[in-house]
Amino acid sequence: MNKFIKTILVGAVAVGFTSCEDFLDRQPESSLIPETYFTDAALLEAYTQNFYGILPAHGVNYYTLGTFASDNGTDNQIGLDPDATYAPGVWLTPQRSGYWDFSGIRQVNFFFENVLPLYESNGITGEPALIEQSIGEAYFFRAWMYWERYKELGDFPIIENVLPDEKEPLLEASVRQPRNKVARFILADLDKAIAHLPVDSRKGKNGLNKACAQLFRARVALFEGTWLKYHKGTALVPGGPGWPGDASLLGSFDIDSEISYFLGEAISSSKPVADAVVNDLVENTDAPEGQNVAYESLNPYYTMFCDQDLNRYSEVLMFKSYLLSEQVRTQIQAQFQKNGGGSGWTRGMVNSFLMRNGLPIYAANSGYDPAWENQGVTATLQGRDSRIQIFTKGDNSIDTYSLVDGSPVYYRMGWLMDGDGSTKATTGYAIKKGKGYDYREAQANNLSVTGSITFRATEAMLIYMEAKFEKDGALDGTADSYWKALRRRAKVDENYSKTIAATIMSEEAKWDWGAYSAGSLVSPTLYNIRRERRHELMAEAQRMDDLRRWSALDQLISQPYQIEGIKYWGTVYNDPNSPLCMKRDNGSYLAPIVNETDGTGTMSAQAYSNYVRPYQITRQQNPVFDGLTFTRAHYLSPIGHDNFTRASTDGKVETSVIYQNPGWSTETGAAPTSF
């Protein structure tokens, strides 16, 4: 139950330097790299190429669903193990913190310190376009490193040069700057990246380009603008009551002006990216299976997420390729095509999807029948938004095709109760987004080469819609065109006004944490903009960031939440006489085991709910059995204890030049307090 902390690790480059966690532990790069290294464009490329590894991807040889499991631990989807975010008192201050790390930042600053003077004096030989690309990449990667730290820690030191190995300047540079300044610094770096990056990368869609930087810039601006808006009046914003930062660093800070600035930047940065794709969205044929037995695409929108080569998809701005011949591969298709993948959509996620007529399922004329849940997943999803239908494994979903005769191999719903943390379908709504059909590679040593999307242009459409409404309180013609295009592709009535008029926020609040901001329900229009974002970006690693920036977890403080999945009790799934009853691999009935005390249970008790409650199956090592809760300190991560003692002149926490995040203790192993 330790909180998982993502630490950015930058691997060794050709010249042999490696990363570590502290300035004082590092050997100066100047003693490792020849003076002439940065005079050659090809070596500049080798240097910046090393940083591509910090961008999100499926990983290599990991037995998971790759990026498609990144939203686990939210109201969208869950894994088998509960997240300590929702168990106050379990997530504790660590000894050290992976986010308080400057090794990668130092390496990029070393690049700038050597390259920029040579660039300005024409002292670099080689192809000019390669030089420009490398400089643009370096600015982008520094922005990304700051983004990873800023969104977890908020206030953070801004360091633009390589510091000497002396304590005084290191301490001076360690002072945390207000988060809005850090966000502005990231935007400034991305402006420089945009100026240097090409429209089309020489690496194709495996490399960064202008649109990637524009989209990322819009993402950062939206994050900060909405964070300031919805955390206003708390210690989580600069100058707020109880903010632990240095007021002298605020300058003429005005939070309302900052909110307007960042939302405006989100609008201006997202528009060119969105405009370039809105009339060229990848087609959704609505085919329930993405590929035929010859592995040809039956639905381009579906296969955009599971194809090997993503260059042909208009929305994909950048992706990571995997090649078996070079031992660069993943194991995600072994998960998708063999079991439940250790994840599952929540009942709340499924219930938030509209009927194709544009009405919520609770609306009088929606056409939805609650009795469908008794008939299984496929029946439950009938008549819905195409996205939840094509990206969810149903009762008759094809997992793959036989290598012997090409016959379909169907998904087995029994994975709801079979398997472990990497193979269960935790909620019964098994995830299909990202699942391919070619079993040849999945079978051969569990290897696959499914491309991993890094940036998708459609996100820009959603950013524009949200930022425009947040800033102006209304949508314009541009936002209108974006929204209608997304709904048309999802096979939903494009008249979103009809949806807004039928929206009852108290109903939506049952299923969607995004219905709230700072403990209060938002307007139906804003909620439906958030709904569209939730559905289009499902399983694309955006949900937790959204919930945090919206301050959409406050309600859990006083209202513990139970995650639910499919309806099980009293349905075809636990009826031995039904052809849809859950079965073992040998075809026999898979009887549920209800035992919450000794860890042998496979199903939550009917006394709790007719719906599967994954976190009420066992009490063992389960702090959220009685519901998911929250403390506001968890909106940010803690800084590890050792960083305070190292950032002081005498090794004492009390004299440290840095401060802890609100609610968190500086002492190792301490739980946060409310604020």
- Predicted pLDDT of residue 325: 63
- The mean predicted confidence, pLDDT, of the chain is 92
Percent of the chain's residues with pLDDT above 70: 93
- Taking alpha carbons only, the member of 351, 362, 391, 288 closest to residue 566 is 351
d(CA 383, CA 675): 45
Is residue 192 scored above 80 in pLDDT?
A: yes
Mean of the pLDDT values across residues 23-31?
47
Q: Which residues pair with 408 in a beta bridge?
A: 401
Cβ-contact 354, 507 below 8 angstroms: no
pLDDT, tens digit (0-9, with 9 covering 90-100), for 546-601: 999 999 999 999 999 999 999 999 999 999 999 999 999 899 999 999 999 999 99
Cβ-contact 111, 30 below 8 angstroms: no
Contacts of 396 by beta carbon, 8 Å cutoff, 6+ apart: 378, 410
How many Å is the Cα radius of gyration of the chain? Answer: 25
- Predicted pLDDT of residue 97: 79
pLDDT, tens digit (0-9, with 9 covering 90-100), for 468-484: 999 999 999 999 999 99
Mean of the pLDDT values across residues 604-620?
97
- Predicted pLDDT of residue 323: 78
Pairing of strands 398-401, 520-521: unpaired
d(CA 247, CA 244): 9
- Predicted pLDDT of residue 675: 87
Q: Which tokens is 136 given?
A: 């643009």
d(CA 601, CA 589): 16
Pairing of strands 398-401, 316-320: unpaired
d(CA 351, CA 508): 9
Least confident residue range of 10-19, 165-174, 423-432, 626-635: 10-19
Cβ-contact 274, 402 below 8 angstroms: no
Amino acid at position 476, single letter:
D
Report how many helices (DSSP H) and strands (DSSP E) the chain contains, helices first: 20, 6
- Predicted pLDDT of residue 442: 56
Q: Position of tokens 């914003």?
A: 237
d(CA 393, CA 432): 6
d(CA 208, CA 134): 10
- Where does the pLDDT of residue 22 fall: very low under 50, low under 70, confident under 90, or very high at 90 and above? very low
- Following DSSP, what letter does each residue of 496-562 receive, concatenated? HHHHHHH--HHHHTTT-GGGEETTEE--HHHHHHHHHHHHHTTTSS-HHHHHHHTTTTGGGGTS-B-
Mean of the pLDDT values across residues 319-325?
83
- Where does the pLDDT of residue 214 fall: very low under 50, low under 70, confident under 90, or very high at 90 and above? very high
Cβ-contact 603, 581 below 8 angstroms: no
For the chain, report the end-to-end CA distance as a whole number of angstroms.
Answer: 23
Cβ-contact 428, 568 below 8 angstroms: yes
Q: Which tokens is 666 given?
A: 């500086």
Least confident residue range of 3-12, 61-70, 94-103, 319-328: 3-12
pLDDT, tens digit (0-9, with 9 covering 90-100), for 386-442: 999 999 999 989 999 998 899 999 999 999 999 898 899 999 999 999 999 987 755
Percent of the chain's residues with pLDDT above 90: 87
- Count the neighbouring beta carbons within 10 Å of the beta carbon of residue 440: 13
Q: Which residues pair with 589 in a beta bridge?
A: 583
- Where does the pLDDT of residue 534 fall: very low under 50, low under 70, confident under 90, or very high at 90 and above? very high
d(CA 119, CA 133): 12
Cα 568 to Cα 575, 592, 619, distances in angstroms: 10, 10, 20
- Taking alpha carbons only, the member of 242, 260, 100 closest to residue 180 is 260
d(CA 327, CA 485): 40
- H-only helix segments in 66-102: none
d(CA 398, CA 379): 16
- Where does the pLDDT of residue 165 fall: very low under 50, low under 70, confident under 90, or very high at 90 and above? confident
- Taking alpha carbons only, the member of 411, 370, 396, 348 closest to residue 561 is 348
Long-range contacts of 488-492, Cβ-Cβ distance < 8 Å, separation of 24 or more: 489/281, 489/283, 489/284, 489/301, 489/386, 490/284, 490/385, 490/386, 490/387, 490/535, 490/536, 491/284, 491/286, 491/356, 491/385, 491/386, 492/354, 492/356, 492/358, 492/385, 492/386
Cβ-contact 5, 639 below 8 angstroms: no
Cβ-contact 431, 68 below 8 angstroms: yes
Is residue 205 scored above 60 in pLDDT?
A: yes
- Count the neighbouring beta carbons within 10 Å of the beta carbon of residue 622: 17
- Where does the pLDDT of residue 334 fall: very low under 50, low under 70, confident under 90, or very high at 90 and above? confident
- Predicted pLDDT of residue 169: 93
- Predicted pLDDT of residue 33: 75
Cα 338 to Cα 332, 377, 399, 432, 468, distances in angstroms: 10, 19, 7, 12, 43
- Predicted pLDDT of residue 439: 73
Q: Position of tokens 């005079």?
A: 39
d(CA 147, CA 144): 5
- Predicted pLDDT of residue 443: 60
pLDDT, tens digit (0-9, with 9 covering 90-100), for 646-662: 999 999 999 999 999 99
Cβ-contact 221, 187 below 8 angstroms: yes
pLDDT, tens digit (0-9, with 9 covering 90-100), for 353-399: 999 999 999 999 999 999 999 999 999 999 999 999 999 999 989 99
Mean of the pLDDT values across residues 335-362?
96
> Chain centroid to CA 39: how far?
38
- Predicted pLDDT of residue 446: 62
| 216 phi/psi in degrees, rounded to 5 | -65, -40
Cβ-contact 383, 355 below 8 angstroms: yes
pLDDT, tens digit (0-9, with 9 covering 90-100), for 89-144: 999 999 987 799 999 999 999 999 999 999 999 999 999 999 999 999 999 999 99
d(CA 252, CA 178): 12
- Count the neighbouring beta carbons within 10 Å of the beta carbon of residue 600: 12
Is residue 6 scored above 60 in pLDDT?
A: no
- Predicted pLDDT of residue 338: 86
